[in-house]
Amino acid sequence: MTLTAIDWAVIAAYFVLSIAIALFYSRRAGRSSDEYFLSGRTIPWWLAGTSMVATTFAADTPLAVTGLTVKYGIAGNWLWWSFVMSGMLTVVFYARLWRRAGVMTDAEFAEIRYSGRPAAFLRGFRACYLALAVNSIIIGWVTAAMAKIVGLTLGVGKWEATVGLFVLTALYSTLSGLWGVLVTDFFQFVLAMSGCIALAFFALGAVGGMSGLLAALHARFPDDAPLSVIPSLDSAWMPALTFFVYLAVNWWASWYPGAEPGGGGYVAQRILSTKDERHALLAALWFNIAHYALRPWPWIIVALASMVLYPGLADPESGYVRVMVDHLPPFWRGFLLAAFFAAYMSTISTQLNWGASYLVNDVYRRFWARDRSETHYAGAGRLATLVMMVISGVVTLNISTVEGAWKFLLAIGAGTGLVYLLRWYWWRVNAWSEVSAMAAALTVSLGAQLGLGLSAAEPRDFAILLLGTTVVTTVVWVLVTYATAAEPRERLREFYARVRPGGPGWRAIVPEAAGEGRLGGGLLQWALGCAVVYLGLFGIGDLVLRGSMRGLGALVVGAALTAYLVRATRGESGAPVRVVS
């Protein structure tokens, strides 16, 4: 790709603005760990929710969506579209509970829900596992995708691109703390979405518009299989077993960043940083609508165009970048590269800040240095950020495809989701339930892949792997739960008083709990929330691909249901937390 002076000017302007924001918030971030990691818990819902969306929109996302669409058709995106159902559970049931918990990280949750040495072990183990292992994989695949983009557009090698990207992001993320990350996320999300919409426009121009794209795909695939949102039962693009697993198992069984069953990770961090319970719930609602309904179609359009322009690519993910290189005019080349830098930096800065919060709050402060100053812990957060970047750099150089990394992470977390959902609503879950679930999922998944030869990259193998791992993991953690002692009743009462989940699962500890909560009404709101997102997703798709009035009707119904859900949240309050001593 040849960049003109105006392209370089656009890229330079982006970096100047990003660094300026980081410098502006650096002083505030250094005041305390609460400011550095949670922005003083004063964030409005629209900023917290947009930051979640920006974090899930990384340099890897358009490439991975392109790979899925080229190989499996539009229906291949059910790999992540299925997580709508998990996300809406967080909106309806868990966002308010996280905000009431008042912890700094989801790892800290272990020591308000459980007690004694098992709780301390779980907190430290989970913090290190997520910050150093899982987080490194996430940062690795995002950086590998961005290095691929830089390599194809600027001719830079993977090693050189990785080092350069880490240096730029380290300066930005270590300075700013969460406030700087949040504000920059908002700016970066607008820039990244604008760039992707522009690329879709130019991609359509290269294939003769939407009519030319559809005609070319129909000539190559007379059954229109790549355009089907719901695959046929005998589809080679999406085997029935795989589609079933996506819809019936994947969304509740697997832990995945941004779609954790019951919330967690950086989603929990953003929820915990909001002003009160209603802002927490609205942030999660906006995130799910924007993440699943508003963003995918520009990426899918470019993916479909790449199938026409570059048939038979050995690396389908690279088709997205090739459209950039070959079909963008001056200014837009620089704009889209800046947009990809924005998408990359918004995700990496969040992953680093989130990972550092584990290492500082749940390991260093909890076990090594309990009584230091708040400025000391903020400084430790900056050092932890740099350590994670070094580890992630090694991982980056060993990742080949984004889709493969996505599926690998889903597979090693299969079966853990149910315990994360039930720990809030069933008193009998204990610390060993979580430990055994994590250990069993990792062991069974790796054993099946390395010993039995199942490949997470193959749709049918992935379905078998996920089902098998989920069944074994669930059996293991349930058996361990009943084989080990329950948590002390006093700790359970304290936890219930603090988060007030309600429901029959607490009847044995708090008799009045069965009549509290909103399980029945909540399930109705959950179903309506899922309908909102899917109506938006497929309504926009119908309008974009076919200009159908049916799509417009779906959007109108979705908007009406959204208004209802927002009104239904008005009863959510920021009531003070009650803790029984």
The pLDDT assigned to 580 comes to: 34
Counts for the chain of helices (H) and strands (E), in that order: 27, 0
User: Residue 71's closest CA among 411, 414, 318?
Assistant: 318
310 in Cβ contact with 207 (< 8 Å): no
Structurally, what CATH architecture does the domain formed by 5-412+518-571 represent? Up-down Bundle (1.20)
Measured in whole angstroms, the distance separating CA 186 from the mean position of its chain's CA atoms is: 16
Ranges in the chain, pLDDT < 50: 29, 573-581
Q: Which residues contact 179 (CB under 8 A, 6 or more apart)?
A: 25, 28, 29, 35, 39
Q: How far apart are CA 556 and CA 558, in angstroms?
A: 5
Q: Which residues pair with 274 in a beta bridge?
A: 43
User: Residue 200's closest CA among 280, 288, 306, 271?
Assistant: 306
- Give the three-state DSSP class for 210: helix
What are the tens digits of pLDDT across the range 255-277?
A: 877 788 998 888 888 898 898 99
Measured in whole angstroms, the distance separating CA 507 from the mean position of its chain's CA atoms is: 34
Residue 407 belongs to what H/E stretch?
helix 402-412
Q: What is the pTM of this model?
A: 0.85
Q: Which residues contact 261 (CB under 8 A, 6 or more apart)?
A: 86, 89, 251, 252, 253, 254, 255, 416, 417, 418, 420, 421
Domains of the chain by residue range: 5-412+518-571
Q: How far apart are CA 201 and CA 297, in angstroms?
A: 11
38 in Cβ contact with 272 (< 8 Å): yes
